[in-house]
Structure 1
Amino acid sequence: MGMICSLQAVSDTNIQLILESPPLIWRLIAPDDPEAYLELMNGPERGLFARLFGNRKRVKAKDIPKLKRSKGEDALCDIDKAWHGIHYCLNGDDTGGEPPLDFLMEGGEFAGDVDVGYGPARLFDSATVKELNDIISKITPEKLHENFDPEAMEELEIYPAIWARDGEEAFEYLSTYLTELQSFIAACAKHHLGMAVYLG
């Protein structure tokens, strides 16, 4: 399947709760699947002796906290494998860039060390998302194309290494997902929400 980048809208209140208790990131990105949260909170299944004489109370499914979602907080954006190419075209660099346009690779606060696929999710508050929206909303396909260089992207190993093979078709792939990304970020800014960015 490869590395897929997803972005999830999240309120500043819930960002703070997740930063205080990082396993709660699973309640944001997989609210209908309690197992990942329970496994992190309880650790591996204990043997009989540990269950009988251990002092540690285990979290039960009925006790799992829920994040209270505000309007717009159910918004999700999946940009498939386009994330690295979009980052490169926005920044002209394979890993770095200027905040906040480096958001697909850098920035935000880690949700602890909870691995949600390929490392921890990164959380961006609503003020950062508003600033990002003010800038990214002005990026046109023509502007994005200025840094589109298939040969350089292949040399830098920009994921998913389709650039020289697919050329302008690969750019259309990036441009389509940039439009989805812009719509998602605009919706987050409209509802005064932050976002989580993660690779799965």
Structure 2
Amino acid sequence: MGMTGQFIAVSSEVLQAIKSQELSIHSLEVGLDIDKSWQALHYVLCGSIAEGEPPLGYIIPISSNYIGHLSDVEAFALNPGQIREALAAVEQITAAELREQYNFAEMVEQGVYPLTEDDDSEEFFDYIYENFVAIRDFYTLTAAEEQNIIFYIL
């Protein structure tokens, strides 16, 4: 198995119920599963395994917006304004532009999950780009609905 990144779109009321642990994250339907691409995407966008300034740091929100250890996962949340800010930063990024930020050898050297030296650089880029597009689409829908996003790693 492995650590997979999960996104859920929720109303403010549901977000509050999750924060207060009246509701389990696991009782909600996953809106987007980005498999094991979460740390690699964060690294390509932010240049760091765990740090990342907004708005790009909001794409995989693992360095800010922590809401707690909930339902056996570390959870992070974004409000509609943060989602719109993140979306504005990435909605025009092309595959070529993302590739310019992609350095496979450096990522392997830094121990970026889930990479190993045996992985194919081109196949891995295609994998993370596919998930990047899925995140962008998910953020677009979530922003249009004025929802919040919860991100966690399972």
Q: Check if 1:167 corresponds to 2:136.
A: no
Percent identity between the two aligned chains: 28
Q: Check if 1:99 corresponds to 2:59.
A: no
Q: 1:132 deviation in Å?
A: 1.1
Structure with bigger strand share is 2
After superposition, the CA RMSD in angstroms is 1.8
Paired residues for 1:42-61 under 5 Å: none
Q: How many residues align?
A: 152
Q: 1:75 deviation in Å?
A: 6.6
Q: Deviations over 1:97-149 (max 9, x none)?
A: 21131132222231x33253xx3211111111111111121221112111211
Say which one has the larger Rg: 1
Paired residues for 1:23-38 under 5 Å: 23-24=22-23, 26=24, 28-31=25-28
What SS does structure 2 have at the residue aligned with 1:94?
coil
Q: Check if 1:108 corresponds to 2:65.
A: yes
TM-score by length of 2: 0.89
What SS does structure 2 have at the residue aligned with 1:22?
coil
Return structure 1 stretches of 4+ with deviation > 3 angstroms. none
What SS does structure 1 have at the residue aligned with 2:56?
coil
Check the 8 A contact 2:26/2:71 in 1, yes or no. no
Q: Which runs of 5+ in 2 are unaligned?
A: none
TM-score by length of 1: 0.70
* Structure 1 counterpart of 2:9: 9
Q: In structure 2, how many angstroms separate the alpha carbons of the residues matched to 1:75 and 1:193?
A: 14
* Structure 2 counterpart of 1:122: 76
* Structure 2 counterpart of 1:89: 44
